[in-house]
Chain A
C-alpha cells in the first residue's frame, strides 16, 4: 500500500492505496466523489475526465499514486462558491446539453479544459475536442451548442433548438 496525498477541489486529502488503484477508483471509492463516472475501462468514453494540475485527464487511466502531490478538480468542484451552477454547467442546463447525465461530468470537465485553452472555439474546434467524450443520448447537438454558449458566443442562429 502506498500513501497518496493531493488536493481535490481545493481540499487536502490523503489515503492508502494499492499500486494498481486508479485515480477514478480513489476518487469514487476512497473519497466518495461519485460524480466522476466510469463508462468503459479503455480510456475511450471520457465519463471519467477530471483535471490534474489543470489538464484534462481520463482518471480511469491514471494511477492514484501518480496523482499524488497534484491538484485535482472534479465535477463536484465546478459549481460557484455559493453553490450555484458555474458558467459551463449553467450553459448545459440552459441548452439541454444532457439527458441521462452519465457522460455529463466528463463532458463538463472536457469543455472546461477546452475553454481554458481556447476561449472562443469554433463549432469544429468543439466537436474535435470532444472526440474523446462519448454521449449516447443527445446526438451532441445541444452539448456543442452549450459549449459555444458557455464561451460567450451567440448560438441563437444554430439550426432549431
Chain B
C-alpha cells in the first residue's frame, strides 16, 4: 500500500485550495492605499544612441506624478553578473554596466530608457506614449547574428567592448591538446552543427513589482514576482540602490511560474522603489505580455559544433565542442555561468568517455538578455550529445540503444570523476535505460510503425540518455569558479507553545508545491500531523536567509537545511525530556512523536515538550535556554546528479511535415522521492516544455533586431492538443549519497531529456521513410520537416 501521509506519500497539495477558489494572492492582485502606476518607455529600435529625451510635455499631462530617465540613475550601481568567468587566456570577462534605465544608448528592442508614474494606469500609459514621441534616438546598425558580432569590431553593443565578446572560455583547457590529438587519430569522427533555439520562458504570470517607502522609518518594501527574494534584496540593496539591507524587505507572494526568468533582478524593481521614495506612495507596475516577450531574460540560444570521436564499434574516445552562446545586450545575473559551468561541465553526459574539451564564446548582441531557463545549460549539453550520438549510430549502422548501453557508466564505477570535472556520486544508468525500453515496448515498435505506415504516416523512435547536475554547490568550489555568492541555504523551524510548527524556508515555491512537501517531511520526522506544519516562504522579513528556488535545488539544499533544523529541535527536545523524565539524555529516544526513556514506559509527547519549552516551570534553565526554535544553514558537499532515459515516438505526416508526438516514456532516477504525485507533475511539465522547444517554440529576431515572435499569436506555445499523455516512472532510485534526504531534484529533468528524444525520433521517422535527413534544427516545425524531406 502506498503511504497516505508523510515522506513518500502523494499528499494532495494544500496550496491548491486557494488557487482553485480564486483566493491566491499574486503581486498584481494587491491593491494598496494611495498607489500610483508606473509605465515604462521602451526602445523601438534594437540599437541606438539617445540624442534627446524631452520630458516636459509628458510631465505636464493629467495625473502624471513623476518622470524618470536613465539620467536619474546614472550615478547608482549596475545590476551585476553573479559569476565572474575568465577567458582561456586568463583575462576576466568583459562586464558592462547594466543600468536601471538605459542611459546614452539603447541596446535592444524593449530596453527601457524612461518611466512615467501617474495616478492611474491609463494616465501613465498616455504620458509614456507622449514621451516616446518626444524622444530622439539615432538608430545604429543592429548586431544580431553572433558570428557577425564577433567578426565586425567596428559595430559594438557596448562601446568599450571591441569584439562584442564577453569571454572565450575553455573547459578543461588542459584537455585541449589531448582531445585534438584523439580526434585526429580516431577511427571515426562524427561532426554535427546545430542550433539550440532561443526560447522565451513565458511564465503565465507576467512580471510585476510594487515599491513602498515608509518615511517614518526609512524602510522600503518590494513586493515582486521573484524566485529568490533574498537574492533580489541583496542586489537591490547592496549593488544598485545602496539601501542598507536591513531597511529593505522583499516579498514574493504567490508567484505564477518562473522557469528561471524570475530568478533575476530587473531594473523595474529598482525603479518602483526609487519612485516610491520620491513620491512617498506605493508605486506599482505589471508587465503586459508584450513587455514580457521583450524584456524577460530569454533562454538557450547556442550555436554549436560538436565532434564525437569513436571506435568503429561505437565506443566513445572523445568529445569536442565549440559553442557561441548569446547573452543578449546585457549580462543578466546568471548569464555567464549558464553556458559555462552549467553546460561545459555536463559535456561528458552519463558516459565513460576518456576525454572532453569544451569551448564557449559568449557574445553580446542587440537582443533581450539571455539567461538560465528551465535546465539552464544542461539541456544545451544534453541536446548536443544525444544528437551527435544518434548521428554517429546512423553513420556506422549501429543500434542507438546498444551504443548507449556500451558507453554508459556502470553502477560499480561510482563515485566517478568525469573529464570535465564533476564527481558523480551515484547512479544506475543501465537501470533507467532498461526501464524506459520496457515502458516503451521497444520490441513492438515495428508493428506500430507498420500501423502508422498503413495510415500514410512515418513513424520514428528516438532515445535520449541524460544526466544533470542540480543544487549547485559547494560554496568554496563555486567561489573558486567565479561565483560571487555562496550556494547554501537556510531554514528556521519554530515550534510554537501549542506544539504546531512554522517552518521558514529559503526556498520559494512558485508551482513546486513546497507548502505540501516540506510539511510532509517535517511531519514525518516529528511524528505529528502534516496539518500541524505551516511552511513560510518568500518574505525576507520572516526568513533567516535563502538563495531561492532554481536549478532543482529546493529540496536537495533548502530541504536539507530544514531537515538539519528539525534534527536540532529533536536534540533539544531530548534534553528537555531528560530533565522532565529524570533520565540521562543519552537514554532518551524519539519516535512517532514521543520522547521516551529507553526500556521504560516513561514518555512525554512532542506537544508536552514544546509546552514545557515555552512554560518552563519544570525545566533545566541553568543549562538550557527556554523556547524551541532552531535555525540551520546547509552547504552541500557536491551537486546532485539525477539521470534517466527518455524514449519518444512520433508520427510524421509526409504531406505536411507535421510531427505528432505519439508516445513519450520517461524513466528517471531522482533518488528518494518525497511526493510521487508532485514529482510526476514536475516531469510532465518539463517534458511539455521540451516538446515545445523541439516542435513549436521559436524566438525570431529579424536583421534589424525586431522581435518577430513577440506575442502568443506569433510565438507557438505548446497547447493541450500539441502533447500526449506522458508515461513516467521514477522507480529506479539511487539515493544521493551526501544529503540527508537522499534526494536529487526533479524540476528540470523533463526539459533536459526530452528535446533530443523528440528530434531523434523525427530523424528516425524520416530515415525509415527513405529520406536522407540527418539533422533538422529546432523547432522541428512542419515547414522545416517538409523542406528537409524535399532534399
Interface centre among A35, A89, A103 (most CB of B within 10 A): A35
**Within 8 Å of chain A (Cβ to Cβ): is B202?**
yes
Q: Is the CB of A126 within 8 A of B720?
A: yes
Chain B residues with CB below 8 A from A79, complex form: 21
How far is B691's CA from A56's CA once the two chains are assembled, in angstroms? 28
Distance in Å: Cβ of B256 to nearest Cβ of chain A: 3
**Within 8 Å of chain A (Cβ to Cβ): is B530?**
no
Chain B residues with CB below 8 A from A133, complex form: 720
Q: Is the CB of B711 within 8 A of A103?
A: no
- CB-nearest residue of chain B to A20: B122
Q: Is the CB of A161 within 8 A of B725?
A: no
Q: Mark B713-731, 1 if CB is under 8 A from A, else 0.
A: 1000111110101111100
Given contacts A42-B713, A127-B720, contact A139 B21 (CB under 8 A): no
Chain B residues with CB below 8 A from A36, complex form: 22
Q: Is the CB of A130 within 8 A of B719?
A: yes
Given contacts A124-B721, A138-B688, A160-B728, contact A94 B12 (CB under 8 A): yes
Q: Is the CB of A100 within 8 A of B255?
A: yes
Q: Mark A29-55, 1 if CB is under 8 A from B, else 0.
A: 100111111111110110100000000
- Among B21, B256, B688, point to the contact of A78 (Cβ < 8 A): B21
Chain A residues with CB below 8 A from B677, complex form: 96, 161
Chain A residues with CB below 8 A from B257, complex form: 99-100, 102, 136-137
Q: Is the CB of A93 within 8 A of B13?
A: yes
Distance in Å: Cβ of B352 to nearest Cβ of chain A: 31
- CB-nearest residue of chain A to B23: A35
Q: Is the CB of B21 within 8 A of A101?
A: no
Given contacts A32-B31, A45-B712, A99-B257, contact A140 B511 (CB under 8 A): no
Chain B residues with CB below 8 A from A32, complex form: 31
**Within 8 Å of chain A (Cβ to Cβ): is B681?**
yes
Size category of the binding interface on chain A = 35 or more
- Among B21, B204, B687, B728, point to the contact of A89 (Cβ < 8 A): B21
How far is B510's CA from A159's CA once the two chains are assembled, in angstroms? 26
Q: How many residues of B contact A (CB 8 A)?
A: 64
How far is B17's CA from A75's CA once the two chains are assembled, in angstroms? 12
**Within 8 Å of chain B (Cβ to Cβ): is A143?**
yes
Given contacts A42-B712, A93-B16, A100-B511, contact A144 B726 (CB under 8 A): no
- CB-nearest residue of chain B to A47: B204
**Within 8 Å of chain B (Cβ to Cβ): is A98?**
yes
Distance in Å: Cβ of B203 to nearest Cβ of chain A: 6
How far is B18's CA from A41's CA once the two chains are assembled, in angstroms? 24
Q: Is the CB of A40 within 8 A of B712?
A: yes
> Considering the complex, which residues of chain B in the window 686-735 have a beta carbon less than 8 Å from any beta carbon of chain A?
686-689, 691, 711-713, 717-721, 723, 725-729
**Within 8 Å of chain A (Cβ to Cβ): is B611?**
no
**Within 8 Å of chain A (Cβ to Cβ): is B296?**
no
**Within 8 Å of chain A (Cβ to Cβ): is B410?**
no
How far is B512's CA from A133's CA once the two chains are assembled, in angstroms? 20
- Among B22, B25, B206, B718, point to the contact of A39 (Cβ < 8 A): B206
Q: Is the CB of A98 within 8 A of B204?
A: no
- Among B290, B678, B686, point to the contact of A41 (Cβ < 8 A): B290
**Within 8 Å of chain A (Cβ to Cβ): is B361?**
no
**Within 8 Å of chain B (Cβ to Cβ): is A141?**
yes
**Within 8 Å of chain A (Cβ to Cβ): is B57?**
no
Q: Is the CB of B17 within 8 A of A93?
A: yes
How far is B712's CA from A131's CA once the two chains are assembled, in angstroms? 12
- Among B23, B717, B729, point to the contact of A160 (Cβ < 8 A): B729
* Count, A-B residue pairs, CB within 8 A: 195
Q: Is the CB of A34 within 8 A of B681?
A: no
**Within 8 Å of chain B (Cβ to Cβ): is A151?**
no
Q: Mark A112-138, 1 if CB is under 8 A from B, else 0.
A: 000000000001101110110111111
Q: Is the CB of B510 within 8 A of A93?
A: no
Given contacts A37-B256, A45-B712, A134-B712, contact A161 B16 (CB under 8 A): no
Q: Is the CB of A100 within 8 A of B510?
A: yes
Chain A residues with CB below 8 A from B678, complex form: 96
Distance in Å: Cβ of A19 to nearest Cβ of chain B: 12
Q: Is the CB of B720 within 8 A of A40?
A: no
- CB-nearest residue of chain A to B510: A100
Q: Is the CB of A98 within 8 A of B20?
A: yes
- CB-nearest residue of chain A to B18: A101
Chain B residues with CB below 8 A from A104, complex form: 19-20
How far is B20's CA from A99's CA once the two chains are assembled, in angstroms? 11
> Considering the complex, which residues of chain B in the window 492-513 have a beta carbon less than 8 Å from any beta carbon of chain A?
510-513
How far is B13's CA from A11's CA once the two chains are assembled, in angstroms? 30
Q: Mark B624-635, 1 if CB is under 8 A from A, else 0.
A: 000000000000
Distance in Å: Cβ of A161 to nearest Cβ of chain B: 5
Given contacts A101-B256, A134-B712, A139-B688, contact A45 B721 (CB under 8 A): no
Interface centre among A33, A44, A131 (most CB of B within 10 A): A44
Q: Is the CB of A160 within 8 A of B22?
A: no
Distance in Å: Cβ of B689 to nearest Cβ of chain A: 7
**Within 8 Å of chain B (Cβ to Cβ): is A74?**
yes
Given contacts A101-B16, A136-B202, A143-B720, contact A34 B684 (CB under 8 A): no
Chain B residues with CB below 8 A from A131, complex form: 719-721
Distance in Å: Cβ of A146 to nearest Cβ of chain B: 10
How far is B691's CA from A138's CA once the two chains are assembled, in angstroms? 13
**Within 8 Å of chain A (Cβ to Cβ): is B311?**
no
Q: Is the CB of A102 within 8 A of B26?
A: yes
**Within 8 Å of chain A (Cβ to Cβ): is B601?**
no
Closest 4 CB pairs of A and B: A35-B22, A139-B688, A102-B256, A101-B19
Given contacts A29-B31, A140-B688, A161-B677, 19 further A-B contacts (CB under 8 A): A34-B26, A40-B712, A101-B15, A101-B24, A102-B26, A102-B256, A104-B19, A124-B721, A127-B720, A133-B720, A137-B257, A137-B511, A139-B684, A139-B685, A139-B686, A139-B723, A144-B725, A159-B725, A161-B10
Binding site for B on A (CB under 8 A): 18, 20, 28-29, 32-42, 44-45, 47, 74-76, 78-79, 85, 89, 92-94, 96, 98-105, 108, 123-124, 126-128, 130-131, 133-145, 158-161
A-B contact pairs, 22 of them (CB 8 A): A28-B29, A34-B22, A35-B23, A41-B288, A44-B712, A45-B204, A76-B21, A76-B23, A78-B20, A79-B21, A99-B511, A100-B255, A101-B18, A102-B203, A130-B719, A130-B720, A134-B712, A136-B202, A136-B257, A139-B689, A160-B680, A161-B10
